[in-house]
Amino acid sequence: MPKSFFYPLLEDPYRKKDLSRAIEVIKTGKLTIGKHTKKFENKFTKTIKTKFSLMVNSGSSANLLAMQCLINPYRKKRLKKGDSVLIPTVCWSTSLWPIIQSGLKPVFVDIDPVTLNIDIKDLIKKINKKTKALMLVHVLGNSTNMDQLMKIIKKKNIILIEDTCESLGSRYKNKFLGTFGEFSSFSFYSSHQISSGEGGMITCRNLEDYEILKALRAHGWSRGLKNEKRISNKNKHLDSRFIFFNSGFNLRPTDISASIGLSQFNDMKSFISLRNKNRNFIVNSLKKSKIINDNFYFIEANENVKPSWFGIPIYIKNKNNRKKIIKNLEKRGIETRPIISGNFIKQPSVKKYKLLKGSKFYNSDIVNDRGFFIGLPTKKINNIFVNKIVKTFEQSI
């Protein structure tokens, strides 16, 4: 193995200026949620053109809050125990589990192997009277046909939650992914389009939901809510500073994370553009090789999608070669991983919780058996580096 060559899945994403911001916050001694969080939330709302944004400590927490808000007794239109929520089988663990943790029933939908995103034909088949919501996952910066999807959602009165944890900055017909649904989640874990160490954002469209999410994020506390005064007046027997008006978690971010997240978010446009340039440079160079073309297939952006790529998703044409190719790539310095986690229904946790009875998801199996992705450099790359990638791919076959 040429030891000098290493192409990681995950680079150190922080610049000096991101860390300086964090150090400034640390120096103030005010580390818990505060003014930097608020600033980041406001900027996020304005930039992606959503209505309300609330920073949380991870994308997983954002998904949990969305599902918990949907069943909350303060919500007028809420879901009942056992209501069905559609979800694609190519999803992340915490796209799925908040559905179950909220007493709802996940119904799996197959994906379209060309886009990696939900298969609308299968989605239509899975809708019935119990279907109340869809947890849509925008995979690796790509998206399904949102025009078609929104028509179905509206017609069937289905609540849309967009798990946009892998797709911050991607657009469908110029509209940011994460602005179609009633709720959207974003992740700023280190490897995503922007990073804040750990961190995430939940966005929603109306004040009622925003106030519920805010309470759920912080212990169910009335503190900082729009109706804080009214709640306090109704509860004169209590210390007005300590009123727990809802159920709750503690999913708050630190102001340190918020300051790093905001510093990166300010430069999101240039990050996306550089990542897209790097992606095209690498993929176009790989495609020029006949042997690579004969053995691999590269996932492209869906029609009308302006992607903000997360990684570089690839299929191995002959699935019997998968083990050998992955082993060879890794041995020669190219890190790989499954596309999200492959077909999630194959995970032991799904069996343990008996979430499925004998259904087959043929397209998700394609992703599982043939798909993998490699990292996407966040810094400028040169010919020497890209040539090494091409050589390594050729040698992996």
For 284, 298, 326, 330, 335, the CA distances from 395, given in Å and listed in that order, are 18, 18, 11, 12, 15
What's the CA angle centered on 164, arms 159 and 170, to 5 degrees?
A: 115
Closer of 272 and 286 to ligand PLP (Cβ):
272
Q: Which stretch binds ligand PLP (CB under 6 A): 6-14, 92-100, 123-131, 169-177?
A: 92-100
Least separation in angstroms between residue 320's CB and ligand PLP is 28
Least separation in angstroms between residue 261's CB and ligand PLP is 11
Query: In the numeric block, which tokens belong to residue 174?
Result: 């110029």
Least separation in angstroms between residue 65's CB and ligand PLP is 12
Least separation in angstroms between residue 71's CB and ligand PLP is 19
User: Considering only residues 161-180, where is the footprint of ligand PLP by CB under 6 A?
Assistant: 163, 165-166
The count of chain residues that interact with ligand PLP, using the rule CB under 6 A, is 15
DSSP 64-106: HHHHHHHT-TT-SS---TT-EEEEESS--HHHHHHHHHTT-EE
Q: Which residues contact 284 (CB under 8 A, 6 or more apart)?
A: none
Question: Is residue 90 within 8 Å of residue 340, measured between CB atoms?
Answer: yes
Query: In the numeric block, which tokens belong to residue 317?
Result: 């044409």
Q: What gap in Å lies between CA 1 and CA 395, rounded to an integer?
A: 11
User: Considering only residues 134-163, where is the footprint of ligand PLP by CB under 6 A?
Assistant: 137, 163
Least separation in angstroms between residue 343's CB and ligand PLP is 14
Q: Which of 37, 50, 53, 58 binds ligand PLP (CB under 6 A)?
A: 58
Least separation in angstroms between residue 94's CB and ligand PLP is 5
For position 189 contacting ligand PLP by CB under 6 A, the verdict is yes
- Catalytic residue, candidates 36, 138, 192, 219: 192
User: Considering only residues 303-362, where is the footprint of ligand PLP by CB under 6 A?
Assistant: 340
Q: What gap in Å lies between CA 127 and CA 118, rounded to an integer?
A: 14
Q: Which of 21, 36, 53, 59 binds ligand PLP (CB under 6 A)?
A: 59
Q: Crossing angle of helices 255-265/16-28, nearest 10°?
A: 150
H helix or E strand, kind and range, residue 45 = helix 35-48
H helix or E strand, kind and range, residue 296 = strand 296-298
Show the binding pattern over residues 111-130: x = contacts ligand PLP (CB under 6 A), - = does not.
--------------------
Q: Does the active-site annotation cover 192?
A: yes
Question: Is residue 139 within 8 Å of residue 166, measured between CB atoms?
Answer: yes
For position 254 contacting ligand PLP by CB under 6 A, the verdict is no
Closer of 87 and 389 to ligand PLP (Cβ):
87
131-137 vs 84-88, strand pairing mode: parallel
Q: Indicate which residues carry an active-site annotation.
A: 192
Report the interface residues with ligand PLP, using CB under 6 A. 58-60, 63, 92, 94-95, 137, 163, 165-166, 187, 189, 200, 340
